[in-house]
Structure 1
Amino acid sequence: MKKITTKILFLIAAVAFVFTAKAQTIKERISNKDIPVYFYGIDFTKTVLIGDSKANAQDIVSRQFAGINDLLINESGKYDVAGAVRRSDLKTDLTFVNERNEKADPDKLLSSNPEDFNRLSESDITTLIKGFNAGNKEGIGLLFIVGGMSKPDKAIAVWVTWFDIRSKKVLLTDKITGKVGMGFSFRNYWATGIKNVIEQIRNKKYNSWKSE
């Protein structure tokens, strides 16, 4: 009986340790200013554009995806990722994500199925991060992974993902739906949804992540 009780107590302690370690990994590492954070931009390789049959898929892959990412650099005051995640020294590297986006398959981009908006799962995100080249860096990576872009619903689904660069372990991933506003081009139209996601991170999500 004593041996059984000891084993039970050991198991409880082990489970408690795992949950504590997870909380420390997410809460303490993300907010720890001594750990560098690298923002890798927006990954569109798993993206499906819904309800826009006239869109030029080839142009979107070869030009528009890079154009949206460029806005994060050229108009960083408007798309203030650093401020949203409370990092004045946020480092940005779009090299790897641009290379990936250029290799996306245009034939798989367009869809007429509304359910494709929610097609990605956490396991899909984990697989993507395992195959993501983040360079020879130490610290935490931050990547926006777009799943669905719905023209009828005027919305974009973005998995905001924090991961350990060296181990490629996902620390936290959270799907945020960004509402799309006015825009006079494909790039600017969908960039308003990204801006909305960034605003949600700044106003609510970041503090929510820290409390997990």
Structure 2
Amino acid sequence: MKKLVLFALLLCNAAAAWADHTMADLFAGKAKVVFLGLDFTQAKYVGSVGFTDPTAIQNQHIVSWNNLIEMEPKKFSLQKAFNLSDGQYVSKVEDMVKFNKSVNVAENITETANSITEDQVKKSVAKYALSEKDGIGIVYVVENLSKTAEKMTAWVTFIDLSTKKVLYTEHVEGKAGGFGFRNYWAGAVYKINQEIDSKLYKKWSKTFKG
């Protein structure tokens, strides 16, 4: 009998750990947050003069832009922006690094800005193979790296990791800037993070706390 009770308790705990999460859980501090990185599978590179080495972008820079999130947490972490404790936040970009291997940069260099819909964001997320199964994931689904406008546009997307359901997504932009090609576009990621920290967190918390 005791074994049956113990087994039932274990099942209940497991079910609680794998329960669906909501945006309200995030702002109530009830969900772990995982920064998954940058999804470049729908990105366009606007202004061909600014993207002269597509092979390097595809094989080096896309990986590097993701890895910076883990390698330089003081600059690229979202922990402070979302007011999270150490136990509530982790960055794990390896799944996005793998997912981005399907990208063909040369075919996506253009002179015209790209436009991604919310439905396209959801279709991309549905294809993710995520190693993290609990909590809320945050991914930036990149729309444009525009040398013409000197900015990156992306959909900041929140995912329930247990179901891969998109909880919310919002179109955000960040001004590019920095020395060298890698840092120039990494600067845009930093600016998006800053936008979340300075403005969007407050707006979202009011919306989802009800």
Q: Normalising by the residue count of structure 1, what TM-score does the alignment of the two structures yield?
A: 0.81
Query: C-alpha displacement at 1:136, in angstroms?
Result: 4.9
Within a 5 Å distance, the mapping from 1:1-212 to structure 2 comes to: 25-26=22-23, 28-53=24-49, 54-89=51-86, 90-113=89-112, 115-116=113-114, 119-181=115-177, 183-212=178-207
Moved runs in structure 1, 4+ residues, more than 2 A? 106-109
**Counterpart of 2:77 in structure 1: which amino acid?**
D
Going from structure 1 to structure 2, the CA distance change for 1:52 and 1:175 (only over 3 Å counts) comes to same
Unaligned 5+ segments in structure 2 are 1-20
**Counterpart of 2:126 in structure 1: which amino acid?**
K
CA distance in structure 1 between the aligned counterparts of 2:176 and 2:148, rounded to whole angstroms: 11
**Counterpart of 1:190 in structure 2: which amino acid?**
W
CA distance in structure 2 between the aligned counterparts of 1:206 and 1:176, rounded to whole angstroms: 13
Give me the CA root mean square deviation.
1.6
Query: Is the contact between residue 139 and residue 165 of structure 1 (CA under 8 Å) also seen in structure 2?
Result: yes
**Counterpart of 1:94 in structure 2: which amino acid?**
V
Query: Is the contact between residue 26 and residue 32 of structure 2 (CA under 8 Å) also seen in structure 1?
Result: no
Which SS does the other structure have where 1:133 is aligned? coil
CA distance in structure 2 between the aligned counterparts of 1:205 and 1:169, rounded to whole angstroms: 21
CA distance in structure 1 between the aligned counterparts of 2:160 and 2:81, rounded to whole angstroms: 19
**Counterpart of 2:71 in structure 1: which amino acid?**
N
**Counterpart of 2:66 in structure 1: which amino acid?**
N
Unaligned 5+ segments in structure 1 are 1-23
CA distance in structure 2 between the aligned counterparts of 1:124 and 1:108, rounded to whole angstroms: 19
Query: C-alpha displacement at 1:33, in angstroms?
Result: 2.2
**Counterpart of 2:98 in structure 1: which amino acid?**
E
Query: What is the total number of aligned residue pairs between the two structures?
Result: 184
CA distance in structure 2 between the aligned counterparts of 1:71 and 1:166, rounded to whole angstroms: 26
**Counterpart of 1:92 in structure 2: which amino acid?**
S
Which SS does the other structure have where 1:83 is aligned? coil
CA distance in structure 2 between the aligned counterparts of 1:34 and 1:210, rounded to whole angstroms: 13
Going from structure 1 to structure 2, the CA distance change for 1:130 and 1:206 (only over 3 Å counts) comes to same
Cα deviation code 1:141-165 (max 9, x no counterpart): 1111111011011010021110111
Which SS does the other structure have where 1:158 is aligned? strand
**Counterpart of 1:211 in structure 2: which amino acid?**
K
**Counterpart of 2:195 in structure 1: which amino acid?**
Q
Which SS does the other structure have where 1:184 is aligned? coil
Cα deviation code 1:163-189 (max 9, x no counterpart): 1112111111011110112x2222100
Going from structure 1 to structure 2, the CA distance change for 1:192 and 1:136 (only over 3 Å counts) comes to closer
Query: Is the contact between residue 129 and residue 170 of structure 1 (CA under 8 Å) also seen in structure 2?
Result: yes
Moved more, 54-63 or 41-50: 54-63
Q: Normalising by the residue count of structure 2, what TM-score does the alignment of the two structures yield?
A: 0.82
Query: Is the contact between residue 70 and residue 93 of structure 2 (CA under 8 Å) also seen in structure 1?
Result: no
Query: Is the contact between residue 57 and residue 109 of structure 1 (CA under 8 Å) also seen in structure 2?
Result: no
CA distance in structure 2 between the aligned counterparts of 1:124 and 1:173, rounded to whole angstroms: 11
Query: Is the contact between residue 52 and residue 110 of structure 1 (CA under 8 Å) also seen in structure 2?
Result: yes
